[in-house]
Structure 1
Amino acid sequence: MTEILTDPEMVPEVLVERRGRALWLTLNRPSALNALNRPMVLAIHRALFDAAADPDVERIVIEGAGERAFCAGGDVALLARRGREDKVLFEGFFHDEYRMNQAIARLVTPYVAILDGVTMGGGVGLSIHGPYRVATERTLFAMPETGIGLIPDVGGTHALSRLPGEIGTWLALTGARLQAADCVHAGIATHFVPAERLAVLRDLLATGEEDVGEILSTLDAPAGESSLEALQDGIDFHFAHDSVEEILASLDDGDDWAQAQAAAIRTMSPTSCKLTLLGLRMGADAAIEDALVTEYRMVCEIRNGHDFFEGVRAQLIDKDRKPLWSPASLAGVSEEDMTRYLQEPESGDLTFE
């Protein structure tokens, strides 16, 4: 029997339910591709905290309403419209989201994310830090933040830097999109379950006496052939450099695929590309908490700049797809600029008490 733990007179944006042995979280904004806002972040974090203290909760499951998306990211359009004038709104969203990401990473209770549909940005942060991540044939994964003047945050600098070889660097700089088989190959998804079997999976996660790993193993199926296998050597060769300029120079001397990657990177915010690579290299040896603190410093300073507001305008609001970055080139982004993004914000660092 399903027990609804939310106000029955409202239609909440996060459904919090007890289904047998599981606490079940459903992102409930299907018309917005389940994009996260601050109230949703707070509701999820509170539910995780309560579940961790409840001995009757044996596992936590999170998924998105509808068949189009698990979670397409954070509600960056709102942040772009109001964030420049409203510092508390802008910083508060990232502050609370990152604390939620850290809670997921440190959960003791088994945590299962069902990545059925679009999984980008904030949706990555809701899933990739947990131990079980289930893809379906509808999964579409990306971290496209450099295209909106942001960075692959939500702990992305920590998680992407731990993918095989330089896959994470490639994903972060180009915003490349992955299908299910690629996600399995890269370790982004731990299991593949066809969408037609999700009802069975839900039932077993709610009522099954086996542990989560055993349940997922019984339904795990081949995801198909990954295109990443053929690209891995090229990705590792070109994206191992520690400056965006060196990566581009390597790609420019490569084959058609490599040159296409260079062309994609040159459409992105130069500042975001440099910050992203810096964050990835710093995050490779950092604890999740340290990576999130660095990301928080970066996004707080991003608010003081131009590219985030311009990127969201061009990609999501006006949709002319023609952002005017400032600085417009990598050469215009100095080392002094990079240092500024690593300073503690005036409002203070992110903490996890």
Structure 2
Amino acid sequence: MLPASQLRGACQHIPTLTVQKWEKDSKIDLVIIKGAGGKAFCAGGDIRAVTEAGKAGDPLAQDFFKEEYILNNTIGTYEKPYVALIDGITMGGGVGLSVHGRFRVATEKTLFAMPETAIGLFPDVGGGYFLPRLQGRLGLFLALTGFRLRGRDVLRAGVATHFVESEKIAALEKDLVDLKSPSISDVAKVLDLHQQQSGLDADKPFALEQHMEAINRLFDASSVEGVIENLKKDGSPFAKKQAETLSKMSPTSMKLTLKQLQHGASMSLQEVLIMEFRLTQACMKGQDFYEGVRAVLIDKDQSPKWQPGTLEEVSEQSVEDSFKSLGERDLKL
């Protein structure tokens, strides 16, 4: 009997069909996913390959996102207990592999962020679904700024469901694997027990606790321009820091992101993934994604030249067009 299957390796090496096969396999009761190498859970797929494919008009630019989103949907609708041990860096594709699953276990080594606006993209892999469902305007704050959550704060923000100290993860894994035909509640009890035994940083307040009132007020706007205006009017050190951060992000990406979260707040995960696939294809046709990847990941000069360069130059029509149906090319789930 196989009580658990474990996924190891880079995000892009996880076949959707394998995960779907496990769900139907009567010998498998539980799926545990964790990173390999100790440093990261998963920091995303091969974005460089996607940019090269996009430039060349290669189908990979479509297939990559299509395959990734189908996997995200599979995880989000999984009937068997699914546990993601996000012990390390969790960004990009790694978020999609974990956040839609029933159980997400953070440790003190967890570093969670969705920094896509810095590379001319948007917080995809279902970000439009889970981000607007976080407390207050926290989701929009994380989406626009790419703010990094660490350790227990990943749980406090509502991204993780549990916190267990890194050195206790092996014991947790063993206890999960030893369960006989576990139900969702059986798995939850084991996770709850190990969390109770993990007191590290329990007395520390949420890193954003003192700023939540400001976040809810300053990021409560119907446009990115409104957010920027709120930040500049406020003038506090926190507001100034966020304004400076946003001044470096792709104006187009920020506008797409705000509308993505506005729409996503009332959509199902499936509807969000279909919408986000449309947005990826719009980004593949634009300039900023390629320029962002160049500046951040390839040349690493951290000086992207966005086109358009200001929020005012990004037309409402171009934003609306990015959300339009692709017809036969739409994502099918």
Distance in 2, matches of 1:65 and 1:252, equals: 43
Q: Does 1:102 align with 2:73?
A: yes
Describe the shift of the 1:346–1:306 C-alpha distance in structure 2 as closer, same or farther (beyond 3 A): farther
* Number of residues of Structure 1 aligned to a counterpart in Structure 2: 323
Structure 1: which amino acid aligns with 2:212? Q
Distance in 2, matches of 1:229 and 1:236, equals: 11
Distance in 1, matches of 2:252 and 2:141, equals: 16
Partner of 1:265: 246
Answer whether contact 2:105 2:162 (CA < 8 A) is retained.
yes
Distance in 1, matches of 2:301 and 2:156, equals: 34
C-alpha deviation, 1:193, in angstroms:
0.8
Partner of 1:290: 271
Distance in 2, matches of 1:346 and 1:291, equals: 16
Among the aligned pairs, what percent are the same residue? 42
Q: Deviations over 1:265-296 (max 9, x none)?
A: 11000000000000001000100011111101
Q: Does 1:138 align with 2:138?
A: no
Distance in 2, matches of 1:78 and 1:319, equals: 17
Answer whether contact 2:126 2:272 (CA < 8 A) is retained.
yes
Corresponding residue to 1:303 among 267, 284, 287: 284
Q: Does 1:317 align with 2:298?
A: yes
Q: Does 1:167 align with 2:138?
A: yes
Tell me which stretches of 4 or more aligned residues in structure 1 moved more than 4 Å: none
Distance in 1, matches of 2:264 and 2:214, equals: 23
Distance in 2, matches of 1:304 and 1:76, equals: 15
Corresponding residue to 1:246 among 220, 223, 226: 226
Partner of 1:5: none
C-alpha deviation, 1:56, in angstroms:
2.2
Distance in 1, matches of 2:230 and 2:156, equals: 25
More displaced stretch, 46-55 vs 142-151: 46-55
Partner of 1:229: 209
Structure 2: which amino acid aligns with 1:311? G
Q: Deviations over 1:134-177 (max 9, x none)?
A: 00110000000000000100001111111111111000000110
Partner of 1:24: 6
More displaced stretch, 201-210 vs 64-73: 201-210
Structure 1: which amino acid aligns with 2:221? H
C-alpha deviation, 1:130, in angstroms:
0.8
C-alpha deviation, 1:23, in angstroms:
1.5
C-alpha deviation, 1:232, in angstroms:
1.2
C-alpha deviation, 1:347, in angstroms:
5.4
C-alpha deviation, 1:344, in angstroms:
2.2
Q: Secondary structure at the match of 2:213?
A: helix
Q: Does 1:47 align with 2:27?
A: no
Structure 2: which amino acid aligns with 1:228? L
Distance in 1, matches of 2:244 and 2:61, equals: 31
Answer whether contact 1:301 1:345 (CA < 8 A) is retained.
no
Answer whether contact 1:146 1:173 (CA < 8 A) is retained.
yes
Corresponding residue to 2:193 among 218, 225, 236: 218
Answer whether contact 2:291 2:306 (CA < 8 A) is retained.
yes
Q: Does 1:333 align with 2:314?
A: yes
Q: Deviations over 1:216-272 (max 9, x none)?
A: 011002443221222211111111211000001111122111110011011000000
C-alpha deviation, 1:112, in angstroms:
0.4
Distance in 2, matches of 1:347 and 1:79, equals: 21
Partner of 1:345: 326
More displaced stretch, 188-197 vs 80-89: 80-89
Q: Does 1:178 align with 2:149?
A: yes
Q: Deviations over 1:284-324 (max 9, x none)?
A: 01000111111010110111110000000000000000000
